[in-house]
A and B are shown apart, each in its own frame.
Chain A
């Protein structure tokens, strides 16, 4: 069985709600994390991200000034960011499909809808560590591959030309990761 060594990871928790930050911090410490940085808005998060290089960012969507979406775009800026590949897990009350797509298109790695549970959070963290997705750069997008699965019997048009030339990403074998 595989296990996340939480004590080796540095987390950045971004939420303007003190109580939600406390819930998330409590969960991470409960998992064994020792380094949990906090930021109460997107601007403070960018500062903390740049100076402390966290391994994983957990962020709210709705925040004053720079919200979670804009913050994600800044962290993903390939030429300016200290780590444009950082896993970003968005924790939000928004569950509408258009919101999920907006987050995905901003470069969010994983999406979690409140109420947040220990199991959901652990599974998402395990996922981003064990099965990191390749990144895609186009003229208008930079972020984790938005295609999570390939459908074997898909017979529609191929929207990414040159797809056949791609090298499949290295992945852990299916079933290697505990997803209970």
Chain B
């Protein structure tokens, strides 16, 4: 039963704990160990890992086409926002699939698009960001120990800062 406490400024509502009643149990046993459950689920995801690079490469290729189309068309604020959502999408994939440097580049790319709202984004610069993400994934650079990749990220961050201040 839902109980509600009212004050002058707000209500505090306690809905019934239906999910607790429905799906929480206290039944210990060898196959009920949460650690085993977690390990099983993680292993299931790790079985997909050989596909991660292919998925990312497909996403990068699709994004490259979208950036090129964006550059060729009239670059409205709505188009920049659609592209930003697409890049955020790729940023999430990079983070999920073990490419934090590529996620960092995608994050800088998004900042550039956010600031471009209502004005023209530099299409050539945008393509540089896409190419950098593609290079990091192709080179399987998964951390900052690759000096060339780290330098690339630094240079793109500087480019992003410069373009946003322009």
Contacts and interface: CB of A to CB of B under 8 A. Distances in A.
B91 to A, nearest CB: 5
A174 interface: no
The bracket for how many chain A residues form the interface is 35 or more
Interface stretch (A13-21, A100-108, A149-157): A13-21
B25 A3 contact: yes
A165 B7 contact: yes
Residue picked from A61, A67, A166, A172, most chain B C-beta under 10 Å:
A166
The bracket for how many chain B residues form the interface is 35 or more
A70 interface: no
Nearest to B106: A93
Residue picked from B10, B17, B95, B107, most chain A C-beta under 10 Å:
B10
Interface in B100-155: 103, 107
Contacts of A23: 45, 48, 96
B72 interface: no
Interface of A: 1-6, 8-9, 16-17, 19-20, 22-23, 26-32, 55-56, 60-64, 67, 85, 87, 92-93, 114-119, 121-122, 126, 128-130, 132, 134-138, 145, 160-163, 165-167, 169-170, 172, 178, 180
A62 B96 contact: no
A26 B34 contact: no
A5 B12 contact: no
A122 B5 contact: no
10 contacts: A1-B34, A5-B23, A19-B55, A26-B44, A28-B41, A29-B41, A62-B92, A118-B41, A132-B19, A178-B34
